[in-house]
């Protein structure tokens, strides 16, 4: 986690705590104490409570005799608990030639331990109704789960088993599979992603050879190939001891309860070797270091990176402000000079700080064939312009207000508060570091910003990276003048010899999984409804955990309305973009400035089914925010210059889609699903041809015809009740309704037989796979809902058959899944993954094998029980935050659902039988009538695919035939069916691990 994001979390915690203090009296004291040891030798180190108006997260901190730090935050607002175990080890503890160890080990920690079988960790937490993950960065690795509060003991048992009883379960097979999984992750996020290598290249050039920040957390493929299982075990023994870890627990618990369980399950684990904090000198650049590489990109990129200060340095906050002024928003110098003037497609600046160093980065992606030397000069000109203009009081106030607002909601969840405490404990040793951070931010002055500019930026040397399209080396900013030099590097002293694995000895049987307590009672949050005379349907709920209000307007239609004139596809999205620009009274920059000063946000967007307007405001600034909302909604300027700029950017973005394999896959797959003539077969943003045809008058007409209260739903969640909020929205009553006709001629495309379709992505490291067909529309309590239950163990959970096969057993992918995603009128079933290129044909085989097997053999008794528990007990996490409440209410309003639909779903879940699931599988998994599509390197994947027994068809990135139709039909043979009757939509959520 960067220091900047960590600071954000802490400030949010402060605001949240202040809000809670206003309604929930707390002890007016704050103490730090070292109480007497418990019988087990545990020491209480600190108790932090709130004084009146003080901004802290209350907690108690303990230390076990083995060095484990335990922090407990008590919060009974929801019946859930978040458990976080943070180890103070990231890629910054690695050595030359052994990069990627920390991240690799994060994967291994989910592969079972002495008392938890392989693949059981995810299953146990999921079955308990929880969610879990792990992350690694330069400085730390953390593992966490959010579970119903009755599952606290199970969560601690799991974490303790992998901390103290892991290594005997680390087999060569598991090692090899996870090595492939990590390689797939690198392929997906780095090698197969546009600009994916940029951070790796800059890091190697910025830091001295051997500096642990000179490589990235994902590591190098050659290092991953080189290491063996013993190397990995030694890494665990060196860094994963309890004395290098912090257990942080927050939620519906008490400190005494947590400490007792921590002593039982973690107290007997032996200390590891001592771990000292690192301190390394900041990089020194004697000259600008120019580096470059060619990539499969459309827009050339230039990036300047200057070394700054490490996290918690006194100058960090001022550098954050500086980066915001130069390139952090629409009002910044870089945006105004480069993006607004159409010299760059994207441009900006940011500052990030980690435990050992910080980086100040300026970057610009310019339009095709523009030379990066010009863009570099423009970035340098922006720096010079800052020096000339200086810093204003408004710059400082605006930054502080927007910064505070952007992070306040992060602490509305127990996971947010818990992770905040954990982050500051590992970084500073003081979980209550929020006070100093607030002081640092609030103390920043104009003079501070100018001082850090002069000290770290003005005249200083940088690493300048150029990323250019393949074959366009002439566009680089300047010829490369830097190569990594390993001479002079001295390897550190060996830290891994003589390490021994000694297991804890206990007086209880760890092999017995703890019994869960009583399932906590879950209640749907109370809500209210109201309808305005002009047709707006309003639904709201009070949520007082943070002093904010969220409004979500949903205007039915969006891309779907473009079916009236498909030649103008993309117009809904362009109209939404124009509503984010100037109004009659304010320029776009003035609106942005006012919103930043208020710490508010207003955003307009458009998707496949609707246009949305989201509003976020602190309660104290709601009136001023709503005044700006009224301007943006009802008095758009529709400026010709702004339209020309946005249209040009949109056309370039569409042309750039060919460089993004996942976007190509989704676009072509949609075209195959819906068929020619269906608006859903055209991307939401449109095509080059359709967007080129759109004029400003077209946008004005679309707004006039379809921007109507008659198709608008409004969800309100926040710290205000109905009587308080509705009078403030009186301006909505002036909105004149219009008759909006929704297209109703939706026809689905059917598939005569299963075929394979290939879209060539030359030399792609991975293949994107999509397998599916048009299934059924959404229904909250009908067959659609039941089909989602059926799919859960096939491809809807981490422990699903598909993911366990392709990721955990074969190592073909970073993640594989399947699911139904119904809307009112349509609903595809899709199985998908990004797989390594040389496993493309094998992955198709395994996908189809699992789908066929599930269709033919059905669900097992164990899987049925798992599904019912996992989905049923997950209700404890459904309504915790304002955003979760808003999503729930939005679904109810959109589909006109009654409150008892939740009860009905639960009844269906608990009563559904094995026979019903199996019947659904036979009905909705038609393996002989699906499309199988791959976007990958045709030369390497086609020969294997041709051996699978399916007809193989080649498509171009637009879904059109590559060969003549007589040789190879490029799209599924379809027949038009009767319109699918309207249904309802459910959001299918996936997880990334």
Instruction: Tell me the CATH number at 582.
Output: 3.30.830.10
Does residue 915 surpass a pLDDT of 90? Answer: yes
SS3 of 893-957: the string is HHCCCCCHHHHHHHHHHHHCCHHHHHHHHHHHCCCCCCEEEEEECHHHHHHHHHHHCCEEEEECC
Q: Which strands, in side-by-side order, build the sheet including 344-353?
A: 289-295, 463-469, 301-307, 358-366, 344-353
- Same domain, residue pair 716 and 759: no
- Same domain, residue pair 724 and 647: yes
Q: What is the pLDDT of residues 425-474, one digit of tens each?
A: 999 999 999 888 888 999 999 999 999 999 999 999 999 999 999 999 99
Contact 294, 95 (CB under 8 A): no
User: Residue range 690-717: average pLDDT?
Assistant: 98
In a domain, 21, yes or no: no
Give residue 523's pLDDT band: very low, low, confident or very high (50, 70, 90). Answer: confident
In a domain, 586, yes or no: yes
Cβ neighbours, 10 Å, residue 794: 25
Question: What burial class does residue 737 get, using C-beta atoms within 10 Å of its C-beta: 0-12 exposed, 13-18 middle, 19+ buried?
Answer: middle
- Same domain, residue pair 819 and 940: yes
Domain that holds residue 868: 755-955
Question: What burial class does residue 862 get, using C-beta atoms within 10 Å of its C-beta: 0-12 exposed, 13-18 middle, 19+ buried?
Answer: exposed
Question: For residue 702, which of 523, 509, 571, 849 has the smallest C-alpha distance?
Answer: 571
Does residue 715 surpass a pLDDT of 90? Answer: yes
In a domain, 945, yes or no: yes
- Same domain, residue pair 763 and 873: yes
In a domain, 429, yes or no: no
pTM over 0.75: yes
- Same domain, residue pair 909 and 771: yes
- Same domain, residue pair 908 and 788: yes
Q: What is the pLDDT of residues 374-402, one digit of tens each?
A: 999 999 999 999 999 999 999 999 988 88
Question: pLDDT > 90: what percent of the chain?
Answer: 79
Q: Looking at the 3D structure of the chain, how many domains does it have?
A: 2
Q: Per residue in 652-680, is it b (16+ CB within 10 Å) or e — as a string?
A: bbbebbbbbbbbbbbbbbbbbbbbeebbb
Q: What are phi and psi of 500, to 5 degrees?
A: -125, 145
- Same domain, residue pair 580 and 705: yes
pLDDT for residue 547: 87
Question: What burial class does residue 988 get, using C-beta atoms within 10 Å of its C-beta: 0-12 exposed, 13-18 middle, 19+ buried?
Answer: middle
Q: What is the pLDDT of residues 217-251, one digit of tens each?
A: 999 999 999 989 999 999 999 999 999 999 999 99
In a domain, 312, yes or no: no
Give residue 23's pLDDT band: very low, low, confident or very high (50, 70, 90). Answer: very low
Contact 549, 719 (CB under 8 A): yes
DSSP code, position 808: I
User: Residue range 610-615: average pLDDT?
Assistant: 96
Contact 801, 921 (CB under 8 A): no
User: Residue range 407-432: average pLDDT?
Assistant: 89
Residue 873 CA to residue 599 CA, distance in Å, equals: 37
Q: What is the pLDDT of residues 266-324, one digit of tens each?
A: 999 999 999 999 999 989 999 999 999 999 999 999 999 999 999 999 999 999 999 99
User: Residue range 850-859: average pLDDT?
Assistant: 97
Q: What is the pLDDT of residues 945-989, one digit of tens each?
A: 999 999 999 999 988 888 644 444 444 433 333 333 333 333 322
Residues 6+ apart with CB under 8 A from 260: none
- Beta bridge partners of residue 359, listed in sequence order: 307, 352
Q: What are phi and psi of 753, to 5 degrees?
A: -160, 160
In a domain, 551, yes or no: yes
- Same domain, residue pair 717 and 811: no
- Same domain, residue pair 589 and 724: yes
Residue 233 CA to residue 243 CA, distance in Å, equals: 18
Give residue 22's pLDDT band: very low, low, confident or very high (50, 70, 90). Answer: very low
- Same domain, residue pair 676 and 542: yes
Contact 2, 140 (CB under 8 A): no
In a domain, 875, yes or no: yes
- Same domain, residue pair 634 and 730: yes
- Same domain, residue pair 665 and 798: no
In a domain, 931, yes or no: yes
Using DSSP bridges, classify how beta strands 755-760 and 931-936 pair: parallel, antiparallel or unpaired: parallel
Rounded alpha-carbon distances, angstroms, from residue 780 to 32, 437, 871: 52, 46, 15
**Mean pLDDT score of the chain:** 90
């Amino acid at each position: 986690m960067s220091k900047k994001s960590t600071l954000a979390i802490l400030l949010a915690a402060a605001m949240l705590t202040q809000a809670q203090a206003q309604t929930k009296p707390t002890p007016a004291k704050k103490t730090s104490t070292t109480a007497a040891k418990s019988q087990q030798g545990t020491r209480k180190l600190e108790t932090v409570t709130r004084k009146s108006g003080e901004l802290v997260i209350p907690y108690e901190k303990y230390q076990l005799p083995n060095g484990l730090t335990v922090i407990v935050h008590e919060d009974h607002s929801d019946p859930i608990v978040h458990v976080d175990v943070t180890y103070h080890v990231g890629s910054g503890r690695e050595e030359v030639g052994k990069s990627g160890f920390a991240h690799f080990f994060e994967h291994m920690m989910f592969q079972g331990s002495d008392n938890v079988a392989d693949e059981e960790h995810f299953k146990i937490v999921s079955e308990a109704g929880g969610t879990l993950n792990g992350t690694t960065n330069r400085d730390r690795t953390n593992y966490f789960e959010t579970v119903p509060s009755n599952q606290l003991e199970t969560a601690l048992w799991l974490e303790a088993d992998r901390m103290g009883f892991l290594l005997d379960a680390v087999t060569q097979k598991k090692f090899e599979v996870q090595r492939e999984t990590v390689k797939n992750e690198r392929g997906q996020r780095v090698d197969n992603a546009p600009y994916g290598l940029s951070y790796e290249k800059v890091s190697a050039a910025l830091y001295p050879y051997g500096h642990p920040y000179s490589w990235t957390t994902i590591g190098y493929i050659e290092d991953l190939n080189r290491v063996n299982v013993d190397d990995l075990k030694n890494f665990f023994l060196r860094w994963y001891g309890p004395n290098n870890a912090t257990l942080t627990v927050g939620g519906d618990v008490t400190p005494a309860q947590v400490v007792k369980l921590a002593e039982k399950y973690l107290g007997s684990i032996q200390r590891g070797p001592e771990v000292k904090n690192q301190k390394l000198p900041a990089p020194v650049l004697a000259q600008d270091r120019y580096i470059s590489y060619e990539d499969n990109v459309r827009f050339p990129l230039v990036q300047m990176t200057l070394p700054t200060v490490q996290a918690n340095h006194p100058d960090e906050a001022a550098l954050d402000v500086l980066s915001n002024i130069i390139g952090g928003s629409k009002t910044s110098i870089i945006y105004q000079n480069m993006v607004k003037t159409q010299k760059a497609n994207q441009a900006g600046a940011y500052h990030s700080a980690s435990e050992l160093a910080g980086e100040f980065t300026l970057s610009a992606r310019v339009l095709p064939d523009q030379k990066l030397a010009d863009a570099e000069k423009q970035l340098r000109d922006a720096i010079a312009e800052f020096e000339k203009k200086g810093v204003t009081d408004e710059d400082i106030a605006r930054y502080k207000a927007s910064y505070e607002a952007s992070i306040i909601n992060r602490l509305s969840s127990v996971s947010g508060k818990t992770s905040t405490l954990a982050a500051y404990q590992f970084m500073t040793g003081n979980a209550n570091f929020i006070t100093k951070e607030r002081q640092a931010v609030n103390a920043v002055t104009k003079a501070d910003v100018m001082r850090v500019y002069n000290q770290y930026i003005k005249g200083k040397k940088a690493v300048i990276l150029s990323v250019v399209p393949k074959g366009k080396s002439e566009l680089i900013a300047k010829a490369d003048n830097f190569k990594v030099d390993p001479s002079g590097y001295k390897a550190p002293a060996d830290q891994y010899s003589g390490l021994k694995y000694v297991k804890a000895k206990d007086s209880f049987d760890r092999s017995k999984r703890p019994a869960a307590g009583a399932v906590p009672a879950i209640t749907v949050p109370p809500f209210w409804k109201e309808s305005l005379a002009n047709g707006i349907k309003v639904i709201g709920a009070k949520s007082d955990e943070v002093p904010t209000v969220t409004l979500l307007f949903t205007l039915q239609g969006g891309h779907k309305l473009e079916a009236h004139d498909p030649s103008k596809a993309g117009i809904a999205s362009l109209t939404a973009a124009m509503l984010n620009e100037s109004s009659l009274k304010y320029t776009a920059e003035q609106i942005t400035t006012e919103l930043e000063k208020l710490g508010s946000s207003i955003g307009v967007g458009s998707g496949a089914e609707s246009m949305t307007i989201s509003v976020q405001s602190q309660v104290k600034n709601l009136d001023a925010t709503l005044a700006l909302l009224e301007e943006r909604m009802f008095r758009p300027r529709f400026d010709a210059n702004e339209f020309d700029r946005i249209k040009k950017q949109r056309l370039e973005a569409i042309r750039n889609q060919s460089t993004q394999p996942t976007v190509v896959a989704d676009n072509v797959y949609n075209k195959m699903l819906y068929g020619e003539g269906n608006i859903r077969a055209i991307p939401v943003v449109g095509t080059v041809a359709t967007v080129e045809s759109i004029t400003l008058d077209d946008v004005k007409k679309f707004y006039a015809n379809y921007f109507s209260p008659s198709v608008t739903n409004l969800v309100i969640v926040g710290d205000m009740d109905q009587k308080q909020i509705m009078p403030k929205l009186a301006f909505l009553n002036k909105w004149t309704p219009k008759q909006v006709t929704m297209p109703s001629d939706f026809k689905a495309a059917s598939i005569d037989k299963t075929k394979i379709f290939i879209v060539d992505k030359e030399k792609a490291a991975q293949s994107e796979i999509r397998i599916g067909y048009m299934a059924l529309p959404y229904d909250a309590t009908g067959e659609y809902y039941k089909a989602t239950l059926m799919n859960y163990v096939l491809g809807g959970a981490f422990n699903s058959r598909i993911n366990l096969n392709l990721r955990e057993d074969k190592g073909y992918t970073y993640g594989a899944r399947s699911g139904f995603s119904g809307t009112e009128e349509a609903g595809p079933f899709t199985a998908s993954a990004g797989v390594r290129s040389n496993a493309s044909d094998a992955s198709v085989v395994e996908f189809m094998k699992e789908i066929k097997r599930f269709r033919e053999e059905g669900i097992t008794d164990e899987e049925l029980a798992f599904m019912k528990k996992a989905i049923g007990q997950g209700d404890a996490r459904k309504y915790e935050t304002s955003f979760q409440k808003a999503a729930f209410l939005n679904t109810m309003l959109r589909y006109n659902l009654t409150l008892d639909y939740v009860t009905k779903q639960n009844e269906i879940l608990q009563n559904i039988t094995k026979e019903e699931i199996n019947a659904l599988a036979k009905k909705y998994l038609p393996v002989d009538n699906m499309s199988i599509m791959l976007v990958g390197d045709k030369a390497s994947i086609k020969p294997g695919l041709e051996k699978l027994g399916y007809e193989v068809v080649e498509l171009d990135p637009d879904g059109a035939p590559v060969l003549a139709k007589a040789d190879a039909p490029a799209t599924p043979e379809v027949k038009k069916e009767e319109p699918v009757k309207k249904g309802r939509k459910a959001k299918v959520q996936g997880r990334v691990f």
